Amino acid sequence: MALNMIVCVKQVPDPEAPASAFKVDEAAKRVIPAGGVAQVVSQFDGIAVEAALRIKDALGDGKITIISMGPASARDAIKHGLAMGADEGVLLCDDAFENGDSYTTALALAKAIEKIGEYDLVLFGRQATDWDAGTTGSGVAEMLGIPSVTLAKSVTVKDGKIAVERVLLEGYDTIEAPLPAAVTISNELGEPRYPKLQQIMQAARKQVTTWTAADLGLDASQVGRQAVRLNLERLFQPVSEVECEVIEGETPEETAQKLAQRLREEKIL
Amino acid sequence: MANGIMVVAETSGGSVAPITTEVLGAARRVADQMGQPVQAALLGSGVEGLAKDLIAHGADQVYVVDDPLLEKYSNDGYTAAMQKVVAQADPAAVLGGQTDVGRDLIPRLAFRLGSTAAMDCLNVMAQDGKVMVERPCYGGNARAIHSFNTSPVLATIRSKAQDPLPRDDSRQGQVTKVDAGLDASAIRDKIVAHEEVAEEGIRLEDAEVIVAGGRGIGSAEGFAILEELAKVLGGAVGATRAACDNGWRPVSEQIGLTGKIVGPTLYFAVGISGASQHMAGCSGAKTIVAINKDPEAIVFKSSRFGIVDDYKKVMPALLEACKKLKA
Ligand SMILES: Cc1cc2nc3c(=O)[nH]c(=O)nc-3n(C[C@H](O)[C@H](O)[C@H](O)COP(=O)(O)OP(=O)(O)OC[C@H]3O[C@@H](n4cnc5c(N)ncnc54)[C@H](O)[C@@H]3O)c2cc1C
């Protein structure tokens, strides 16, 4: 069975950049883009591409389409997925999409998926590593009217059904659902494969289609700032109020002794 | 007019889950400020008896959907049942815990109601007659405060972020049964197997002392000294994602944004750089002690005490010192 898979990816500032590079413009309620911080595929989304590739490998067949909503640079995030082994890409790019929330994002993605038409499995990262919202996958599933399973550490497809191992706080569940379905992928799935140079060159030739809001039958009042459910009242950096007391000694024994003593004095131990 | 702060209740081992008592505490505080009632939604099979416990923990009104189809969690079943409850109660806000159930159910419910949800919130507050929520974002580097343009507000609350109310069995409340009219054929996602990863010893979430190690530990064997210290102090061992990804520790020990959220009295961060995604899981600790050979490590910024040295030198000495203290 040739399975049609769609993976939704987002481009984000590298979340593992040093914390010192992270600055917020409180007046503008936005993060100040730091020079030198790369734009990368949101970690869990890269793992979602990996999940799709593993399913394709296991079935020996299938088509993987990467969709990303974002600025023109988000094409790089799609190209990365194509270099990993996905087949086609769709970029949703329009000023009208700007300053949306996960509701407007899910709406645009759902419309794009409906426009693609043929889909059996839609995959997402468990949360985007900028806003950490963790809602878009459920939203797209709801708008498409298909079942959703979140936080997967493995997904297998058999007999028109998916079996998902879902990560719990203690252990995991195995969940079955009929296709078409949506699944969000967690890091427990494993590391995404790294594209080889040859694949990167091949990806350059793979097709990336660009759609605007109008192409999806949406206008600016339905997506972007005007349509948000969630208002951003304030964005700020939390300040830590602790003053670190550095314990020093001539020998490790003395240092350790002093620490133990301080913890005792403070009634912590 | 929407009225009431609704809590989606969860049970654990036949009683009200601790997280639910925390969310009820938060709901009570906001509801009192707004002059609104606290409602609880209790979903499951054979759960009706717990309604009185929800009242004792702060609910004024409990909506019970008791249905065999809700015995196990399913996204389809629980979303449909919650949709019914929300339609009947018309709350101004629906709050759940950031739990296995909450993180799956609340977003789906939100979109069914034509909205979205704010996940993993640290705080809920009433401001100018509106419910607002505060949540971490950018891996814990930033905080956002949100209001909603649509009603109801939908959010989940992080565990240990809010205090429960003391249980009060004299509290009075109303119990309303709701027939969700569930249809078995409409429940598409089904749990077919469940595996519990049993933690040895003390659960991380319950531990008063946690000795956590990171990439700086260098190997699985390196954790032996952390285990010994944890044992002497009656605590548990935790790890960073780097340590878990390396296979040195089981993922069940991972602390952080994508791991466990802990709140011990004392947290040792050993060979841990202090990345925001890790600190997101332990910022609830009362005292953090960092042991790191790099004096510039960012972890010292959130630590009360610090030792700048190789853990291999410090930890054996610290183990001895703690043994003496405990003797
Ligand atoms: C979306 C996302 C989610 C994430 N979720 C989590 C999460 O839930 N939990 C988590 O932990 N991380 C998480 N991370 C990863 C996180 O960003 C960091 O990469 C990770 O926490 C780093 O782990 P570490 O401190 O062990 O390693 P490093 O950052 O490599 O730090 C190692 C430290 O050890 C010190 N060291 C080395 N040798 C010694 C020695 N001999 N003695 C003393 N000190 C020594 C070094 O000076 C250094 O400070 C997430 C990342 C992303 C992007």
- Chain B residues with CB-CB distance to A268 below 8 A: 265-266, 286-287
> Is the CB of residue B259 below 6 angstroms from any atom belonging to ligand 1?
yes
**ipTM of this predicted complex?**
0.96
% of chain A residues with pLDDT over 90:
91
Contact B120, B98 (CB under 8 A): yes
B230 in A contact zone (CB under 8 Å): no
- Mutate-to-test residue for ligand 1 from B158, B240, B246, highest number of ligand atoms within 8 A of CB: B240
Distance B298 CA to ligand 1 centre (A): 11
pLDDT of residue B201: 78
pLDDT of residue B53: 98
- Region label for B324, one of left (φ > 0), alpha (ψ between -120 and 50) or beta (otherwise): alpha
pLDDT of residue B202: 87
Contact A189, A153 (CB under 8 A): yes
Structure tokens at B246: 């390396």
Gyration radius (Cα) of chain B, Å: 22
pLDDT, tens digit (0-9, with 9 covering 90-100), for B200-227: 778 898 899 999 999 999 999 999 999 9
On the question of pLDDT at A241 being above 80, the answer is no
Higher pLDDT, A35 or B102: B102
Adjacency order of strands within the sheet including A88-92: A208-211, A88-92, A63-69, A4-9, A121-125, A181-185, A148-158, A161-167, A172-178, B190-195
pLDDT of residue A1: 63
B174 in A contact zone (CB under 8 Å): no
Interface probe, candidates A166, A179, A233, A250, chain B, greatest B C-beta count within 10 A? A233
What is B121-167 written as a DSSP string?
ESEEEEETTEEEEEEEEGGGTEEEEEEESSSSEEEEE-TTSSPPPPP
**Hey, which residues 253-282 in chain B have their CB within 8 Å of chain A?**
257-258, 260, 265-266, 275-277
Contact B22, B97 (CB under 8 A): yes
End-to-end CA distance of chain B: give it in Å, rounded. 63
Atom of ligand 1 at shortest range from CA of B258: 8
Considering only CA atoms, which residue is closest to atom 27 of ligand 1? B215
Burial status of residue B1 (CB atoms within 10 A of its CB: 0-12, 13-18, 19 or more)? exposed
Q: Pick B111's closest partner by Cβ from A143, A151, A174.
A: A143
B231 in A contact zone (CB under 8 Å): no
pTM of the model: 0.95
pLDDT of residue B39: 98
For chain B, which ranges sit under pLDDT 70?
199
- Chain A residues with CB-CB distance to B288 below 8 A: 242
Structure tokens at B266: 């004392």
Strand partners, B260: B255
CA distances from B232 to A72, A156, A183, B324, B325 (A): 56, 44, 43, 10, 10
> Is the CB of residue B213 below 6 angstroms from any atom belonging to ligand 1?
no
Nearest residue to B305 via CA among A268, A243, A257: A243
Are the beta carbons of A22 and B308 separated by less than 8 Å? no
Contact B265, B208 (CB under 8 A): yes
Please name the residues in contact with A184: beta carbons below 8 A apart, sequence gap of 6 or more. Answer: A44, A48, A123, A124, A125, A126, A127, A134, A137, A138, A148, A149, A150, A151, A152
Phi, psi for A202 (deg, rounded to 5): -65, -40
pLDDT of residue A186: 96
On the question of pLDDT at A65 being above 80, the answer is yes
Atom of ligand 1 at shortest range from CA of B244: 11
Q: Pick A173's closest partner by Cβ from B194, B258, B298.
A: B194
Compute the count of residue pairs across chains A and B with CB atoms less than 8 Å apart: 240
What's the gap in Å between the CA of B99 and the closest CA on chain A? 8
Give the CA angle between residues A167, A171, A172 to the nearest 5°. 45
Q: Pick A133's closest partner by Cβ from B75, B119, B318.
A: B119
Nearest residue to B144 via CA among B129, B116, B114, B123: B123
pLDDT, tens digit (0-9, with 9 covering 90-100), for A116-141: 999 999 999 999 999 999 999 999 99
Atom of ligand 1 at shortest range from CA of B291: 43
% of chain A residues with pLDDT over 70:
100
Atom of ligand 1 at shortest range from CA of B215: 26
What is B66-90 written as a DSSP string?
E-GGGSS--HHHHHHHHHHHHHHH-
Higher pLDDT, A193 or A240: A193
